[in-house]
Chains A and B, each alone.
Chain A
Amino acid sequence: MKRDRPSLWAALTTGVLVNVLLRSQSAYWPRAGVLAALVCAPLLAAAAWGFARAWRAGQSPLLRLLFAALLAYSAALELLHFWALTQRLYTGLPLTVVCLTLLLPGVYLRRVSAISQTAHVVLCLLLLASGFMLLTVLPRLRITNLQTFALQPADLLTAAQEQLTLYPEYLLPALWPQRGRQKRGPLLRLALAALWFDVGIHLVLELFYGAALPLRVDPVHAAARCGALSVFNRLESLQLALWVMALALKLALYFYAACLLLGQTRQQANAVPLRRFPLYLCGMWALCLLLRRADLDAALQTRGALAWGFAALTGMGGAAAWLCRKTKRCI
């Protein structure tokens, strides 16, 4: 009931789960996904763990700036990705509206305790809504829709490539170590939760769409259109509302982390000052306008590559710092 150091794992989990739900295209066949996840989850966790160690050992102002830039770029891509989805579903919705509605809740999500507690609620609602969606499509799931072709190495490679996307959520724990009561292996848990949720959703989609799985655009949203409760037939709006909430929470987390990276004092570590918010809002809006014509798929792939590159750079920096310390001790 009283929290001195609120945990942000719920926010991180919400962030990685919403990536799965907002997919514009399915990425792989679930069988390949299951096999790939067995390898990719520990790999992702190891990368995140290594990054955290290296960050603590050798962070520098340049690395902090780069990390903040990566977060800003990721946030802009998330906004643009969601804008593309709304363009397909509700034609004519301006980018400004998407930016405003997704960033505005950040005013009240400046405190780390608010992010943490809100994330718990949103995560609960997100899982409940996903369960509800599963229930509503359950009568339409057919076992015979599963594909029986023999898996090729290319299928596994595609799945692994997709699952090894290093989202900023895996890197963020390096910024706030030892918050709250932690369970063992939190990074592995996070990676497992993300990948198994992804594979589970892919499996449901395959049972639903069969061979057409790779063809469907916004497959989860399309499946959510089957949502029905009594006389109310299509409740995908409620699913979408929850996804928006989760995405806004994720962006607020990025904002908080970026402020933490860009010289927030120790006294301000638990909350972002309100005066920074308009700059963030306008900055993100301007960045989105700048990137709106960019090829989103290519930009997302670039983001993945940049994240890995940044993690590697930090790793090298950390290793160098560790070596320096060892050498000094020896001397």
Chain B
Amino acid sequence: MALPQNKALYLTGCLLMSMVLSGCGGTPLSEREIVRGVLFAQQESEFSACLIVADQDTEDTPRNRAVAAAGSTPAQALQRAEDALPGQAYYGLLDLAALPAQADWQTAQQIGTLLYDVAQPAPELSVFALAEAGISGWEEQAPALYDAMKAAESAYEVHCGLQQLFAQSEVCAVPALAQSGYDLLLLPRDGAPLRCRGLAGAQLAAVLCGQAYRLQGTFAGGQAACEADAHVTVEGETVQLHLRACALQALTEQAPDDLESALQRELQAAFAAVYGQMRRAGADPFHLDFWQACTYGPGHTAQDPRLTVLFE
């Protein structure tokens, strides 16, 4: 059980030296392609993946370039895109992933799992869905799309983390790029995807999903504008939307006189429509069943929830 002390030291020294000289070492920065975003698109059964890579040759302002490839699955497309890179793809600073515009729940789960396995990103990595308009050329459009999604996230204070794709087992909600503001894709596991649009659709749904805390956009057919901080509380079957620091503004003369009522009506109608459709798909993206279970015990679900808007 014992060695002479000098031999022991000699042995330890040799082992240490051999470890140091055994070729361990990291990858040089210059050989790493710093991936900032991964964008997926789907055309019928074909997927394409685009890697937004930080351009290390630019001197002053950071710029991105895009490398894309197609495949029959997201994994294959991503692998091919990685292969197309001159260096080794490095996902450590990945901060945005985009799902195809027409993604369904299965696709979202597939891509999310793929990212977890391949990229090992921070779980709060921003997830967006692409706009409905098709992509004509990744190389030209992708860097701009990446910037647009980051800008929308910042301007509308909406955030969907990668882990939120999996937080509920029967549905997930993903903000999507839109011409103005953002849309919200509600993807039930057992139903058709629903794309909510505008302030009353997308932004209300994002607030109810807990992905945004702000309403900012137009309503009443674009004749009035709203800007407010929004918070949600649930009391029994009543979902209360608290609007604080609410600024309503008529944009045209045809705008309704009572803007608060108009906004309330529009929000309530949108809520009823979205909730009804999700309920039919067996999904509860707004966590209303959770509050019911908290109040009345496990197994209780919301039956006929109503939205009330409280201007504070």
Direct contact of A and B (CB under 8 A): yes
* A interface residues with partner B (beta carbon < 8 Å): 89, 94, 96-97, 100, 104, 107, 140, 142, 144-146, 148-150, 208-212, 215-217, 222-223, 225-226, 233-234, 262-263, 273-279, 281-282
Query: B163 to A275, Cβ gap below 8 A?
Result: no
Query: A210 to B124, Cβ gap below 8 A?
Result: no
Query: A96 to B19, Cβ gap below 8 A?
Result: yes
Let me know if B166 is at the binding interface, CB within 8 A. Answer: yes
Min distance, Cβ A233 to any Cβ of chain B, angstroms: 7
Chain A, interface SS category: helix
Min distance, Cβ A246 to any Cβ of chain B, angstroms: 22
A215-B166, A273-B2 given; 6 more Cβ-contact pairs under 8 Å: A144-B290, A208-B123, A217-B116, A225-B120, A226-B122, A281-B15
* B interface residues with partner A (beta carbon < 8 Å): 1-5, 7-9, 11-12, 15-16, 19, 22, 24, 92-93, 116, 120-124, 161, 163-164, 166-169, 210, 287, 289-290, 293-294, 298-299
Query: A210 to B12, Cβ gap below 8 A?
Result: no
**Which 8 A-B residue pairs are closest in the complex by CB-CB distance?**
A210-B167, A212-B166, A148-B293, A144-B287, A225-B122, A150-B298, A211-B169, A278-B11
Query: B167 to A209, Cβ gap below 8 A?
Result: yes
- Choose among A97, A149, A150, A216 the residue that contacts B24 (Cβ–Cβ < 8 A): A97
The winner among B12, B123, B289, B294 for most chain A CB atoms within 10 A is: B123
Min distance, Cβ A276 to any Cβ of chain B, angstroms: 6
Given the known interface contacts A96-B22, A226-B122, A277-B12, the answer about A148 and B167 at a Cβ–Cβ threshold of 8 Å is no
Min distance, Cβ A101 to any Cβ of chain B, angstroms: 9
Query: B8 to A278, Cβ gap below 8 A?
Result: yes
Min distance, Cβ A138 to any Cβ of chain B, angstroms: 12
In angstroms, Cα B2 to Cα A262, docked, is 12
Query: B122 to A210, Cβ gap below 8 A?
Result: no
Residues on B with beta carbons closer than 8 Å to the beta carbon of A150:
298-299
Min distance, Cβ B275 to any Cβ of chain A, angstroms: 16
Query: B124 to A140, Cβ gap below 8 A?
Result: yes
In angstroms, Cα B16 to Cα A51, docked, is 39
Query: A275 to B168, Cβ gap below 8 A?
Result: no
The number of residue pairs between A and B whose CB atoms lie closer than 8 Å in the complex comes to 100
Query: A142 to B167, Cβ gap below 8 A?
Result: yes
In angstroms, Cα B2 to Cα A276, docked, is 5
In the complex, what residue of chain B is closest to A225 when comparing beta carbons?
B122
In the complex, what residue of chain B is closest to A215 when comparing beta carbons?
B166
Some 12 contacts from A to B, beta carbons below 8 A apart, are: A211-B169, A212-B167, A216-B116, A217-B116, A222-B120, A225-B120, A226-B123, A276-B2, A276-B3, A278-B7, A278-B11, A282-B11
Query: B19 to A97, Cβ gap below 8 A?
Result: yes
- Choose among B8, B210, B294 the residue that contacts A274 (Cβ–Cβ < 8 A): B8
In angstroms, Cα B19 to Cα A97, docked, is 7
In angstroms, Cα B15 to Cα A276, docked, is 15
Residues on A with beta carbons closer than 8 Å to the beta carbon of B121:
225
In the complex, what residue of chain A is closest to B165 when comparing beta carbons?
A212
Min distance, Cβ B118 to any Cβ of chain A, angstroms: 11
Residues on B with beta carbons closer than 8 Å to the beta carbon of A104:
16
Query: B122 to A149, Cβ gap below 8 A?
Result: no
Given the known interface contacts A148-B289, A150-B298, the answer about A142 and B3 at a Cβ–Cβ threshold of 8 Å is no
Query: A148 to B166, Cβ gap below 8 A?
Result: no
Min distance, Cβ A215 to any Cβ of chain B, angstroms: 7
Min distance, Cβ B287 to any Cβ of chain A, angstroms: 4
Query: B167 to A279, Cβ gap below 8 A?
Result: no
Query: A209 to B210, Cβ gap below 8 A?
Result: no
In angstroms, Cα B78 to Cα A130, docked, is 34
Given the known interface contacts A225-B122, A278-B3, A278-B11, the answer about A140 and B168 at a Cβ–Cβ threshold of 8 Å is no
Query: A89 to B12, Cβ gap below 8 A?
Result: no
Given the known interface contacts A150-B298, A210-B166, A275-B5, the answer about A140 and B161 at a Cβ–Cβ threshold of 8 Å is yes
Query: B166 to A226, Cβ gap below 8 A?
Result: no
In angstroms, Cα B15 to Cα A279, docked, is 12
In the complex, what residue of chain A is closest to B26 when comparing beta carbons?
A90
In angstroms, Cα B8 to Cα A85, docked, is 31
Residues on A with beta carbons closer than 8 Å to the beta carbon of B290:
144, 146, 148
Min distance, Cβ B231 to any Cβ of chain A, angstroms: 13
Residues on B with beta carbons closer than 8 Å to the beta carbon of A140:
123-124, 161, 163
Residues on B with beta carbons closer than 8 Å to the beta carbon of A212:
163, 166-167
In the complex, what residue of chain B is closest to A148 when comparing beta carbons?
B293
Query: A148 to B12, Cβ gap below 8 A?
Result: no
In angstroms, Cα B309 to Cα A132, docked, is 37
Query: B123 to A100, Cβ gap below 8 A?
Result: no
- Choose among B7, B12, B122, B287 the residue that contacts A107 (Cβ–Cβ < 8 A): B12
In the complex, what residue of chain A is closest to B293 when comparing beta carbons?
A148
Min distance, Cβ B219 to any Cβ of chain A, angstroms: 26
Query: A222 to B123, Cβ gap below 8 A?
Result: yes
Query: A226 to B19, Cβ gap below 8 A?
Result: no
Query: B3 to A275, Cβ gap below 8 A?
Result: yes
Residues on A with beta carbons closer than 8 Å to the beta carbon of B298:
148-150
Residues on A with beta carbons closer than 8 Å to the beta carbon of B166:
209-212, 215
In angstroms, Cα B293 to Cα A222, docked, is 29
Min distance, Cβ B157 to any Cβ of chain A, angstroms: 12
In the complex, what residue of chain B is closest to A100 when comparing beta carbons?
B19
The winner among A149, A208, A212 for most chain B CB atoms within 10 A is: A212
